[in-house]
A and B are shown apart, each in its own frame.
Chain A
């Protein structure tokens, strides 16, 4: 009996990393060192030995010809929902990590909306244990409040001590300004940012898409952009007041970008990320009633997309993250109003980003790499994986010009709720190397 989708096949992607390996003829780009050149990278036992023009005759290692490919510091997706513990039918730590590797990532941050939530050190330890030895590094984000209920602070210092890289109540906001203020103040001690899901939920009960002309035409109740913007404004003010660090998750509106731009100009420690689907799609795609257009924040207008692109261009938006949200097929195959919010994105993030940003000249390739491989680490206060002699090789290798279509049968996620199935993409993950492992993408 054959199944079209078998998660165990991800193992095929793993290939033994030779003791001595030369990555040849690759265009090596590391914006952190202003490096952009066709070079060879010589790895010994997974550690970078040399990065330069090497005469292969002088070395006895295996050769991987990467002519036409790009080698970048390993990419991080700083916004992923792994569903373990609790909904292992939708994604596990293992399947999600494989999916990330397949999509060209060597690291991810997992959000705390598991069941139970990541609100105690035991859950952090559990995740760390499950991810041990993985090519893809899994960085847990702890909850801001116990059970993500917005009422009492979680044990933030404990969470950080065990390895939480940030705190967030993601998929819900902290509605109480008092709790948010205290979370910002308290997290300052731990030196981590608060990742904020920005939506005033008093304005958005029973709503399903962006509010505006299209929601009016479709009779779907709207999530107004102002519900996001007033929370961004509030949290920027609280961040300034408490002298802490704020990271705004999946920003989606024009005025939201403007608020972050102004805050940065005033020196307030705020950063922001955007998702690939928010730059590649607008609310118009909801007209299909395809439940894979149902995301939170909702797909916005073309004008908002323009502002997001400008925000990426001028540095207002620091990072791109997929908000990978796996959902069971039967939950998405329902009426629009009953379907859960969210789409998977780990395997299409690179293709969408290269296509929409690099080929459309919003960012140059170094700019895009900065949004995925450098800024997420900087936001979390971690060193980015520079391509440098003596470092463990942590590399994302991809093809800028390869054209392909996303086929869920080649996905390693346990879910297939993507809005990009069948879409023509330009820019494709090729392989990743990290932790002395090599994974060749099977997309």
Chain B
């Protein structure tokens, strides 16, 4: 059993719980390869997907996970602009809850939004990304994908590359990977590395060529193009030249490195197409695993006891 009724983040989550989630996800992964990809586990449960921020991949992934589990689904998308003048978040979700629903998957631009919902609703809350804070299912599916290749996470060195300051994917990965005992390196321009990050037990680098020889995995983060406009780095060209993951850089590595990206990719910027499409890339496996992992989260929060079957 998970300790909490909600999945708000990986901060503070301990190894046995993460292992339970990953092991359960592995069991669900098999269902996705069946001809009939559907189990009745969540029959009669209603899940609301509440997306206050645009999302394609995460929303579809959750939706498919819910459908594979036979849940009833309601989708709600709101532009962030309507938040200020329209109905408040709390009113919206209380109205939705009054329609008798069981779980809420929430994506929102404010850190703490999922936390807020967990305080005002009785439903189970799953954080699908709250601003620059956490994106726990993404980090879990990343860990699941790494574990599929390497087995034990504890002996591995993982490099998180790019905009660490604004990345909920990076933060959740750091919390999760540190709990699992992995070594974590972060690398990006000094203006995109947040203050005090080393206190989370990660090592900070600014030279990608120092990182590549040390790592088993590179998890390459999406660069938000508006960061350049706000003065955090001079140009996309310079970013690519100094931090872009290219074939030439990787060819200098002695051993193969697993290439990951949470998507959507800026090809030719943080990652070259050659690398993204190479045999070392597991970017599409991440997407497939994402469904299994989200099925596991829904299952365990709905009261599932342990690894199924």
> A219-B131, A219-B132, A335-B116 are known contacts. Are A213 and B110 too (CB-CB below 8 A)?
no
Q: Does B90 contact A (CB under 8 A)?
A: yes
Q: Does B35 contact A (CB under 8 A)?
A: no
Q: Does A229 contact B (CB under 8 A)?
A: no
Q: For B195, list chain A residues within 8 Å (CB).
A: 211-213, 215-216, 222
Q: Does A382 contact B (CB under 8 A)?
A: no
Q: Does A333 contact B (CB under 8 A)?
A: yes
Chief secondary structure at chain A's binding surface: loop
Asked if A213 and B112 make an inter-chain contact with CB atoms under 8 angstroms apart, the answer reads no
Q: Does A129 contact B (CB under 8 A)?
A: no
Q: For B111, list chain A residues within 8 Å (CB).
A: 218-220, 289, 336-337
Q: Across the A-B interface, how many residue pairs have beta carbons closer than 8 Å?
A: 66
Instruction: Give the CA-CA distance A330 to B113 in the complex, in Å.
Output: 15
Interface extent on A, as a size class?
A: 20 to 34
Q: For A334, list chain B residues within 8 Å (CB).
A: 88-90
Q: Does B194 contact A (CB under 8 A)?
A: yes
Q: Does A221 contact B (CB under 8 A)?
A: yes
Q: For B131, list chain A residues within 8 Å (CB).
A: 219-220, 337
Name the contact of B196 in the complex, choosing from A216, A221, A333, A336 (C-beta under 8 A): A216
Residues from 55 to 114 in B contacting A, C-beta threshold 8 Å:
83-84, 88-90, 108-113
Q: For B116, list chain A residues within 8 Å (CB).
A: 289, 335-336
B123-153: CB near A (< 8 Å → 1, else 0) gives: 0000000111110000000000000000000
Q: For A217, list chain B residues within 8 Å (CB).
A: 11, 171, 200
Q: Does B197 contact A (CB under 8 A)?
A: yes
Asked if B133 and A337 make an inter-chain contact with CB atoms under 8 angstroms apart, the answer reads no
Interface extent on B, as a size class?
A: 20 to 34
Asked if B112 and A336 make an inter-chain contact with CB atoms under 8 angstroms apart, the answer reads yes
Q: For A126, list chain B residues within 8 Å (CB).
A: none
Q: For A337, list chain B residues within 8 Å (CB).
A: 109-111, 131
Q: For A338, list chain B residues within 8 Å (CB).
A: 83-84, 110
Closest B residue to A208 by beta carbon equals B111
Task: Report the minimum CB–CB distance from A200 to chain B (whole Å).
Answer: 14
Q: For B83, list chain A residues within 8 Å (CB).
A: 335, 338
Closest A residue to B83 by beta carbon equals A338
Task: Report the minimum CB–CB distance from A422 to chain B (whole Å).
Answer: 15
Task: Report the minimum CB–CB distance from A168 to chain B (whole Å).
Answer: 28
Closest A residue to B170 by beta carbon equals A219
Looking at B89, B112, B132, which has the most chain A CB atoms within 10 Å of its CB? B112
Asked if A219 and B109 make an inter-chain contact with CB atoms under 8 angstroms apart, the answer reads no
Asked if B88 and A221 make an inter-chain contact with CB atoms under 8 angstroms apart, the answer reads no
Q: Does B45 contact A (CB under 8 A)?
A: no
Task: Report the minimum CB–CB distance from A170 to chain B (whole Å).
Answer: 24
Asked if B88 and A220 make an inter-chain contact with CB atoms under 8 angstroms apart, the answer reads no
Q: Does B38 contact A (CB under 8 A)?
A: no
Closest A residue to B11 by beta carbon equals A217
Q: For B132, list chain A residues within 8 Å (CB).
A: 219-221
Asked if A219 and B134 make an inter-chain contact with CB atoms under 8 angstroms apart, the answer reads yes
Residues from 151 to 203 in B contacting A, C-beta threshold 8 Å:
168, 171, 194-197, 199-200
> A219-B134, A219-B171 are known contacts. Are A335 and B199 too (CB-CB below 8 A)?
no
Asked if A333 and B90 make an inter-chain contact with CB atoms under 8 angstroms apart, the answer reads yes
Asked if A212 and B196 make an inter-chain contact with CB atoms under 8 angstroms apart, the answer reads yes
Task: Report the minimum CB–CB distance from A136 to chain B (whole Å).
Answer: 34
Task: Report the minimum CB–CB distance from B173 to chain A (whole Å).
Answer: 13
A327-362: CB near B (< 8 Å → 1, else 0) gives: 000100111111000000000000000000000000
Name the contact of A335 in the complex, choosing from B11, B108, B197 (C-beta under 8 A): B108
Asked if A289 and B115 make an inter-chain contact with CB atoms under 8 angstroms apart, the answer reads yes
Instruction: Give the CA-CA distance A217 to B12 in the complex, in Å.
Output: 11
Q: For A213, list chain B residues within 8 Å (CB).
A: 195-196, 199
Q: For A216, list chain B residues within 8 Å (CB).
A: 171, 194-197, 200
Task: Report the minimum CB–CB distance from B57 to chain A (whole Å).
Answer: 20
Instruction: Give the CA-CA distance A337 to B200 in the complex, in Å.
Output: 24
Instruction: Give the CA-CA distance A218 to B111 in the complex, in Å.
Output: 7
Task: Report the minimum CB–CB distance from B78 to chain A (whole Å).
Answer: 12
Task: Report the minimum CB–CB distance from A125 to chain B (whole Å).
Answer: 35
Asked if A215 and B194 make an inter-chain contact with CB atoms under 8 angstroms apart, the answer reads yes
Instruction: Give the CA-CA distance A305 to B206 in the complex, in Å.
Output: 33
Closest A residue to B110 by beta carbon equals A335
Task: Report the minimum CB–CB distance from A148 to chain B (whole Å).
Answer: 22
> A220-B131, A330-B88 are known contacts. Are A336 and B110 too (CB-CB below 8 A)?
yes
9 nearest interchain CB pairs?
A213-B196, A289-B112, A219-B133, A219-B132, A335-B110, A216-B194, A337-B110, A336-B112, A219-B111
- Which residues of A are in contact with B by a Cβ distance under 8 Å? 211-222, 289, 330, 333-338
What are 14 A-B pairs at a CB distance below 8 A?
A: A215-B195, A216-B196, A218-B111, A219-B131, A219-B133, A220-B131, A220-B133, A222-B194, A289-B112, A289-B116, A334-B90, A336-B112, A336-B116, A337-B111
**Assuming A219-B171, A334-B90, A335-B113, what are 4 further A-B pairs, CB within 8 angstroms?**
A218-B112, A219-B133, A220-B132, A289-B115
